[in-house]
Homo-oligomer: A and B are copies of this chain.
Amino acid sequence: MEKSTPIGLVAGFVLIFGTIFIGDGAMTFFDPKSLAIVWGGTVAGLLVTFTVDEVKGSIAMLKDFFKFEAPDYPALASQIGDLARTARRDGPLALDQRLHEAEDPALRSALEMVVDGASPERAEESLDTQSMEMTRPMVLLVKLLNKAGMYAPAFGMVGTLIGLIQMLQNLSDPSAIGPAMAVAMITTFWGALLANLIFLPMAGKVQGQVQAMMKAHDMVRVGALGILTGEAPNVIDQQLRLYVSGEDVTDPAPLRKVA
């Protein structure tokens, strides 16, 4: 379970709205018309940018996002090394009986290619295609979140312009100017907040998940091509160890699923 996203979101909102509720007039910030312009404008912009299926797919993807667990690179490396030793000892076809062990879909698919006796060139091409297709929905989600992070402040500005234009046409009551400007600025506030606390940071996190998956795919490729070209298992081990040496700063916890 991805924990830093809910922590960051809760901390950010508590901080911002804590500050707001300490001051006066906190409820103004929840002006329904302002929220409608920013959220509605952003959703409208996204619908023009993406197809209905892409939007639906990305929303479904969000569930996976919170359940995403970074690949356990050391476990993956030792599993691949073990499979390479089996292939060396009993021939590539022996891997057929160990397919079920590979929980990771990228690894299983690569093993099937090995069992089928694909040529190394074709296997490499197929693994590239597979990696691209497996990450495609996540790459789409990154794109959608980045666009949302662009439209939210834009419609925040549109809302503020509407409020200012309406206010400026009717300056007869000076005491109404301040509150009217306050309301006008609320859309800009929400646009900036949604973009910088939700949309852009989450785009960054999904991008990081894509990169984690691609690192695992790289390891799978090294293993599959090594077996197909008859590389010695300990050479494959050495190559895989390069991916997990160092303090492995970013991913120490033992995790399971790769993709």
Contacts and interface: CB of A to CB of B under 8 A. Distances in A.
Given A44-B9, A47-B4, A250 B140 contact: yes
Nearest to A10: B44
Given A15-B36, A134-B246, A249-B137, A4 B192 contact: no
B48 A243 contact: no
Contacts of A84: none
A239 interface: yes
A118 B150 CA distance: 47
A204 interface: yes
A165 B185 contact: yes
A80 interface: no
A2 to B, nearest CB: 7
A164 interface: yes
Nearest to A25: B169
A240 to B, nearest CB: 9
A7 B254 CA distance: 41
Interface string A130-169: 1001101100100000010011001101110110111111
Sort chain A's interface into a size bin.
35 or more
A94 interface: no
Interface string A153-197: 011011101101111111100010111011001101100110111
Contacts of A165: 25, 28-29, 182, 185-186, 189
Nearest to A225: B125
Interface in A208-234: 208, 218, 231
A88 interface: no
B178 A169 contact: yes
Contacts of A45: 8, 12, 196-197, 200-201
Given A54-B208, A154-B192, 20 more contacts: A4-B50, A9-B48, A16-B41, A16-B158, A19-B37, A25-B170, A28-B169, A45-B200, A49-B204, A51-B70, A51-B208, A54-B249, A57-B247, A129-B243, A130-B245, A133-B242, A137-B249, A168-B182, A169-B182, A171-B177
22 contacts: A4-B50, A8-B48, A9-B44, A11-B44, A12-B41, A15-B37, A16-B158, A19-B159, A24-B169, A41-B197, A49-B208, A50-B205, A53-B70, A53-B251, A53-B253, A126-B239, A126-B242, A150-B200, A155-B196, A157-B192, A165-B185, A171-B178
